[in-house]
Chain A
Amino acid sequence: MSDLEDLYREVILDHYRNPRNRGTLTGDAVLHAELQNPTCGDEIELALAFDDQGRIADVRFAGRGCSISMASASMLTEALRGKTREDALELDRQVQAMLRGEGDPPSPDQDLAALSGVAQFPVRVKCATLAWHALEHALGS
């Protein structure tokens, strides 16, 4: 079962069972994105609110999906708080590279590092990147 435990690390299952920042945001300054994974029908909705310094003040997600896609979304919401648009896109680039097996985790002590095992399961990479693609849509990138 070692392969399976490499994919489903405890921290991933924890985010799946106890998702952080579930919900949505309203207001003029809120950016929204909705995305579906066409291969499985998983869906995600992301909402971002910026403060007047241009930093992300709040992030919420909603949707239905597998443990990998939902845990990835939950981790994303925690990692983005306080980041500028540019920082957020840089993190997105690093995480996507890690998920494809082309780069190291952005910061080894972050929960996000647990997603690095997904790279060994090519079919599941799309599950893990769903929230990050939604982020790109929300930021208009």
Chain B
Amino acid sequence: MRPTGDVQEHQTATTGLFLRDDFPILQRMVHGVPLVYLDNAATTQKPTVVIEAEAAYYRTSNANVHRAIHTLGEEATRQYEQARATVASFIGSPAPEQCVFVRNATEALNLVAWAWGMDHLSSGDEILLTVMEHHSNLVPWQMVAKRTGARLRFLPLAPDGTLRLDALDTFLSERTKIVAFTHVSNVLGTITPVAEICRRAQRLGAITVVDAAQSVPHQPVDVTALGCDFLAFSAHKMYGPMGIGVLWGRLERLQEMEPLFGGGEMILRVGLESSTWNEVPYKFEAGTPNVAGAIGLAAAIDYLRGIGMEAIAGYESQLTEYALLRLRSVPGIEVYGPESPRGSLVAFNVPGVHPHDLSQFLDQQGIAIRAGHHCAQPLLKHLCVVATARASFAPYNTRADVDALVDALGRVGDFFGHVGS
């Protein structure tokens, strides 16, 4: 691991801020050439420290948590709760118990929608979203709105892909019960002013739910400074394992929420007819949790902290700026989203070449990007496209990776040729 240092010092063409050697998968070849992994917004690769932390847990301390009265059980419980404390301090949570372990950001958002939404929404209430939400912060609200009679409203976008904050007051009213929105768009890279939206929403009594899946891995995030009620993210997009994520909530919100799943761990007393619930966060963690995943997430956070989130944000911002500059040199290319500030991803289309074909072509040269609707169909409809290509960056990526992408894009037109219609 590289020590924390000046961003500029690491802005070299071929060495990233993260060392490629820390990530075993980046050593592999794809179609006979070294892998250039530019699909980090879908999932990031895992450093050895994360892989080893999970394996070490299974090798040395595996036992069920919170029940076993034996050495392994105590070790497992201690490591699991230590992981919660690591998450809490990473996102500025006042207390560890405000961090509920779930499977991923999708489950976290569903938990809020169902457990908070079903008990607090009724006919005529409004849920305010934005048109650029990922399906995971849209479909759960559609489902809950259908059952409660609440109405969905959508904050529009300006032509440059930023949120129309000037329209916020016309959408917010006493009827607004929930404002749920993404911190960083997974297609446009738009960064939303979370603190301002939360302040204005709370003035009218609405609760705020932030989808932070694309922000927590890339920039410092402090829940207290943001002032939201809930915040959701996934470990696998921040160099941690798949199958573990976090719902952070204000204590009073988590306390007023009923559990969604019943079972072991989440109860205090169980009778034949009824039961009482355990404390927050355990009442939301029914059944045996993903202990190894939580430990792996904590290892990922330790890795990120060893480099520093400020340094990561700075490095990615410069790399993305370079990518935008280089991509715009491709003839006819269409790049989506605001100029700056933006998250470390760029969605684009090359004229006459469908993103699927583009992605297939790039794969042959070892370059992995994403092609499709990025689980944001309403946004793509808004952009009047059926699909886009997307390159998304991590601190192991370099200018050389961007150059490889842009050079390949220069050749793709020759392969597919002119397309008539």
Contact = CB atoms under 8 A, between A and B. Distances in A.
Interface of A: 1, 3-4, 7-8, 13, 16-19, 22, 39-43, 64-68, 121, 124, 127
Interface of B: 31, 354-357, 360-361, 364, 371-373, 377, 380, 386-387, 415-421
A32 B411 CA distance: 38
A124 B419 contact: no
Contacts of B420: 17-19
A17 B380 contact: no
Given A3-B31, A40-B387, A16 B364 contact: no
In the complex, the 5 A-B pairs of residues with the closest C-beta atoms, listed nearest first: A66-B354, A66-B356, A41-B386, A41-B373, A40-B372
Contact of B372 (A7, A19, A39, A121): A39
30 contacts: A3-B31, A3-B364, A4-B360, A4-B361, A4-B415, A8-B416, A13-B417, A17-B418, A17-B420, A18-B420, A40-B355, A40-B371, A40-B372, A40-B373, A40-B386, A40-B387, A41-B372, A41-B377, A41-B380, A41-B387, A42-B386, A42-B387, A65-B356, A66-B355, A66-B356, A67-B357, A67-B416, A121-B360, A124-B356, A127-B356
Contacts of B356: 40, 42, 65-68, 124, 127
Nearest to A67: B357
B48 to A, nearest CB: 29
A13 B361 CA distance: 13
B388 to A, nearest CB: 10
A66 B357 contact: yes
B379 to A, nearest CB: 11
A38 to B, nearest CB: 9
B380 A1 contact: no
B364 A4 contact: yes
B404 to A, nearest CB: 16
A133 to B, nearest CB: 17
A32 B373 CA distance: 26
Contacts of B371: 40
B419 A17 contact: yes
Nearest to A65: B354
Given A4-B364, A41-B372, A41-B380, A65 B421 contact: no
A4 to B, nearest CB: 5
B228 to A, nearest CB: 31
Contact of A64 (B357, B386, B418): B386
Given A16-B419, A41-B372, A65-B354, 4 more contacts: A22-B421, A43-B386, A65-B386, A67-B356
Contacts of B364: 1, 3-4
A13 B386 contact: no
Contacts of A42: 356, 386-387
A8 B373 CA distance: 23
A8 B415 contact: yes
Contacts of B31: 3
A95 to B, nearest CB: 19
A41 B360 CA distance: 17
B49 to A, nearest CB: 31
A33 B377 CA distance: 21
A17 B417 CA distance: 8
Contacts of A124: 356, 360
A16 B417 CA distance: 10
Contacts of A67: 354, 356-357, 416
Contacts of B386: 40-43, 64-65
A123 to B, nearest CB: 9
Contacts of B360: 4, 7, 121, 124
The residue in A40, A124, A127 that gathers the most chain B C-beta atoms within 10 A of its C-beta is A40
Contacts of A7: 360
A41 B386 CA distance: 5
B386 to A, nearest CB: 4
A26 to B, nearest CB: 21
A6 to B, nearest CB: 11
Contacts of A41: 372-373, 377, 380, 386-387
A122 to B, nearest CB: 12
A75 B154 CA distance: 42
A33 B144 CA distance: 32
A22 to B, nearest CB: 7
B357 to A, nearest CB: 5
